[in-house]
Structure 1
Amino acid sequence: MSKKPQIATARPPAPDMPVDVIGQVIEAVHLRTVIFGQVAFGTPWRLCIPEREYLSFYIVARGSAWLELRGDPALALSTGDAVILPLGSAHELRDTNRSDVPPLSFDFDGCPREPHSARAGGDGPVTSVIIGHFALGRAPRNALLASLPPAIHLPAGAVSASPQLAGLVPLILSESSSPGAGSSIVLARLADLLFVHALRFWSSNVDAPAAGLGAVADPAIGGALRLIHARPAEPWTVERLATAVAMSRSAFAVRFTELVGEPPLQYLAHWRMTIAAQRLREDHAVIADVAQAVGYANPVAFSKAFARIQGVGPGAFRRQQRLVQRAQPR
């Protein structure tokens, strides 16, 4: 028996509209941004964070510090610097003396969700750091994000060269130091912008690899990605995608896999289930409607495909997400 999913009848293709592939990926997998506030660390101090699903970020409001990741050179951070850890890597943030002191315990899940101030460490010179994180959706993570480095460092000097970043970091620092009504929302949205502009900054100013995010800039593969993202319910085949971008089937399959990090139909399957997961988080999503939106006429076939990629069926996934949403502080 064929194991191919039952695909909904293809509609006549609509005129192609510009598609922001990276924007769609971030929107689909990005669930929540939390800024815990500003922590004043007095020397000596050392903050040790284990590997986690969250994407941590830090902005140095005052002073300086070292960021250490296993297997990578330490990063010197100073006032106005921002750093994002896209892979959720284990890391240490510590004073400039790299004092050998017991690590501080920081319970991210136990922190208030409203911006607040705290003090930690010793009685020496103080470094103030704004701490936050991005909580992303369940694995598997989109292949286009696989090329991101363990840390994206945005030095204050380099940030000033980007008009957008030059405005964002001071706004975050200002809002954090003088919070007012709605500060949690303001800071979260500013942090979202920081994340997007950090990706732009990294891909345009750093010797970023052609794979991953760089695939979007490739004329042929970027075109195929835009087709997949614009019309995910289409009954795409490798041959159809190759023809659409004027490549042979074999050359297209090889180049797509090389640049994106996985074969075309595997990327399509993962993207469909990412969209499905995004829709299932909505309160009134109907599983049959979600299945239809991502190209499955048969909800049973959709449920099997969803469970294969997400680890649980769509019904269980939706129940889990509702429990998570209810548990989140308002």
Structure 2
Amino acid sequence: MLSELLRSVRLSGERMAAYGPPGTSPVGFSGSGALHLVDEGEVALRIDGAPHVERARAGDVILLPRGDRHDISDAGASGAGSPLGGAASARWLSGTFAIGDPRASHLLASLPPVIVLRGAGGPALEGLEVARKMILIEMRSPSQGSAVMVARILDLLFIQILRAWAAGTGAEPNWLAGALDPQIGPALSAVHREPGRDWTVEELAQACCLSRSAFAARFAARVGKPPATYLAHVRLDAAADLLRNSSLPAGAVGEHVGYTSEAAFSRAFKQRYGKPPALWRREAQAGRP
């Protein structure tokens, strides 16, 4: 299920860069997902508009899946009150991700703006150190195909971090937590596989071998919304994909994703995307989604 959802998001790792002495100025990021691997010392991360300063130390991993504007700097050099005192200056690796699908913004919007995994040496993240070393090798001694290698490693890191975070006890209710729940995952998989089917809560509960009431309660607790609301969102996201990438009339698109009335489809689509289907399609196909 996680593979299906991440495939629909269409992540694409873009670039990786190393930061550290002698430069100590904050490094800013915006407009794309970002990943930071702390190699030495301690860093301070500030998200625009948020009063809290997030700190991370060597071995920690920071992921900003939604692309929130932020900057990261050496905590000691920035005067952020680093408890490390005279310890080594901070060094870290930063990578960015492009999100190539309009549905991704809705999937990623339910995730927190910043995810910090403390200490990459645990069994859930044992591959992170290997990936970090591979990236360093490609950056220090680039050769044919290095850019592609780094991009693929970034994709893998993104997936691994999301998987480890969602499986943890501190994860907020969202689609990813539901996808990894063995009792709820089959229902999400069924909905994403056939969004246009006239699903009932009873049918989805049967797919999970749960009673209707137990299924509805667990689904809401893990995903953060009732099954019917989640189904409606998946249908409209699938409709957006068809509007962007096909020539089907808007009414046919609505019918394909489960709406029996074009007017009802248009109202629901506008409520979710802010524009009626025809206008959204023109702007999306013109490169202005």
Interval of TM-score (by shorter of Structure 1 and Structure 2): 0.7 to 0.9
Q: Which residue of 2 aligns with 1:85?
A: 64
Query: What is the alpha-carbon distance in structure 1 between the residues aligned to residue 188 and residue 177 of structure 2?
Result: 12
User: What's the counterpart of residue 115 of structure 1?
Assistant: none
Structure 1 pair 280–177 and aligned structure 2 pair: CA distance change class (3 A): farther
Aligned to 1:187: 150
Partner of 2:24: 44
User: Tell me, which stretches of 5 or more residues in structure 1 are unaligned?
Assistant: 1-19, 102-123
Question: 1:237 — aligned with what?
Answer: 200
Matched ranges for 1:42-81 at <5 A? 42-47=22-27, 54-60=32-38, 63-69=40-46, 70=50, 74-78=54-58
Cross-structure match for 2:6? 26
In the alignment, residue 36 of structure 2 is paired with which amino acid? Y
Superposed CA deviations along residues 154-180 of structure 1, whole A, max 9, x for unmatched, are 645348x74543432222222233444
Report the count of equivalent residues.
276
Structure 1 residues 176 and 295: alpha-carbon distance in aligned structure 2, compared to 1, 3 A threshold: farther
1:207 matched residue in structure 2: 169
Give the C-alpha shift of residue 303 in structure 1. Answer: 3.4
Whichever residue aligns with residue 189 of structure 1, its letter is R
C-alpha distance in 2 between matches for 1:299 and 1:176: 52
User: What is the rounded CA distance, in whole Å, between the counterparts of 2:118 and 2:193 in structure 1?
Assistant: 32
User: Which residue of 94, 98, 104 maps to 1:130?
Assistant: 94
Structure 1 residues 322 and 200: alpha-carbon distance in aligned structure 2, compared to 1, 3 A threshold: same
The correspondence for 2:73, drawn from 94, 114, 136, is 94
The structure-2 alpha-carbon separation of the partners of 1:176 and 1:226, relative to structure 1 and needing over 3 Å to count, comes to same
Which of the residues 234, 249, 265 maps onto 1:271?
A: 234
TM-score w.r.t. the length of structure 1 is 0.67
User: What TM-score comes out, normalization by structure 2 length?
Assistant: 0.74
1:316 aligns with: 279
How far apart are the structure 2 equivalents of 1:38 and 1:72? 25
Greater RCO, CA 8 A, separation 6+: 1
Percent of aligned pairs with the same residue?
Answer: 31
Most deviating of 256-265 and 294-303 = 294-303
CA distance 1:271–1:200, shift in 2 (3 Å):
same
Q: Which residue of 2 aligns with 1:286?
A: 248
CA drift of 1:76 comes to 3.0
Uncovered stretches (5+) of structure 2, i.e. residues with no partner: 81-87
In the aligned structure 2, how far is the partner of 1:32 from the partner of 1:320?
23
Deviation string for 1:255-297 (max 9, x for gaps)? 3222211111110011112222234443x45345643442235
